[in-house]
Amino acid sequence: MKRISLSQLTTLRWDLHQDLQIAVERGISGIGLWRPKVEDYGVDETIELLHASGVKASSLAWIGGFTGSDGRRFSDAVEDAIDAVELASRLGADTLVVLPGGRNNHIKRHLEKTLSQAMIEIDAVAAAHDVRLAIEPIHPGCGDQWSFLQDIRATIDLIGGIASDNIGLVLDTYHVGGDEDLPTLLPEILPWLHLVQLGDSRRSMINEMNRCLLGEGRIPIMSILESLLAVGYDRWIEIEIQGQDVAPLGYANVIDHALGYVERCREMAGQTSPASGPSDATPQKP
């Protein structure tokens, strides 16, 4: 828990300047960038503002749709992904998030072959740019159109078949945190764990994603964080909370609650460093 980041999906209606301003004010050392926000603000302007603030890009979201579920051809999706790799490199983002695409009436073997082919092509560029690729399994109740990979084991099996140290996975607690085997899986998947995202849910996922405040749902967030500490996870942990349950609370309140929750987890685990952790540069007001 030394590297806490704020996902721009948490502050969906804010622009980059507002996102970085609250990150600096709250001592958050990273930001999970969302491509539409970056494009709206301007790439050069984003790079300049990141540099001025001292806040680092923990990730860039997202690439994918390789199965054609979003209407794009395979070649177009791969070309877009390569463009995103180069963008992530310019932004200094550690990780590029991958949403493979939905089943789109394909059989499992074809889906896996298609994704593997895409990842091999993209990884050849990503590795050269020092950008990690992280595939995110999505709960089928609210994201089967985004990813045919719906659990950690299936994702790891596919990644293992590609055999690249640069390709790993995103552990989003909202989507996979309810897996009872997760604590025992963490030591096994640690080498492939590129990014952790924190989200909680009060009810089963149906259609739209609707997250609640951390610790107020059915996902054992505290237990997962303790397990991550125990196995030595030391990469970014992003706060990603959005939906109708939290919308009335206001972004600042949602962020403050999340930081307080992570801090309590840190204290219970006996840690002594700040929840937001050190960065290479002290964040400055944008």
Element of type H or E holding 98: strand 95-99
What is residue 153's three-state secondary structure? helix
Cα–Cα distance, 60 to 47 (Å, whole number) = 13
The pLDDT value given to residue 272: 41
CATH number among 3.30.56.10, 3.40.50.300, 3.90.550.10, 3.20.20.150, domain 4-268? 3.20.20.150
Residue 169's pLDDT is: 97
Tell me the pLDDT tens digit for each residue of 14-69: 999 999 999 999 999 999 999 999 999 999 999 999 999 999 999 999 999 999 98
Report how far residue 66's alpha carbon sits from residue 100's, in angstroms, rounded to the nearest whole number: 6
Q: Tokens 């089967």 appear where?
A: 144
Q: What confidence score (pLDDT) does residue 41 get? A: 95
Specify the 3-state DSSP secondary structure of 60. strand
pLDDT digits (tens, 9 = 90+) for 136-172: 999 887 777 889 999 999 999 999 999 899 999 999 9
Task: Collapse the DSSP code of 271 into the 3-class scheme (helix H, G, I; strand E, B; otherwise coil) and give the result.
Answer: coil
CA-to-CA distance for 269 and 286, rounded, in angstroms?
Answer: 33
Encoded tokens for 269: 């685990």
Give 282 or 204, the one with higher predicted confidence.
204
CA distances from 165 to 172, 182, 184, 191, 278 (A): 20, 21, 22, 8, 26
Nearest Cα to 111, choosing from 164, 155, 76, 141? 155
pTM of the full predicted structure? 0.92
d(CA 230, CA 281) in angstroms, rounded, equals 27
Residue-range domain boundaries for the chain: 4-268
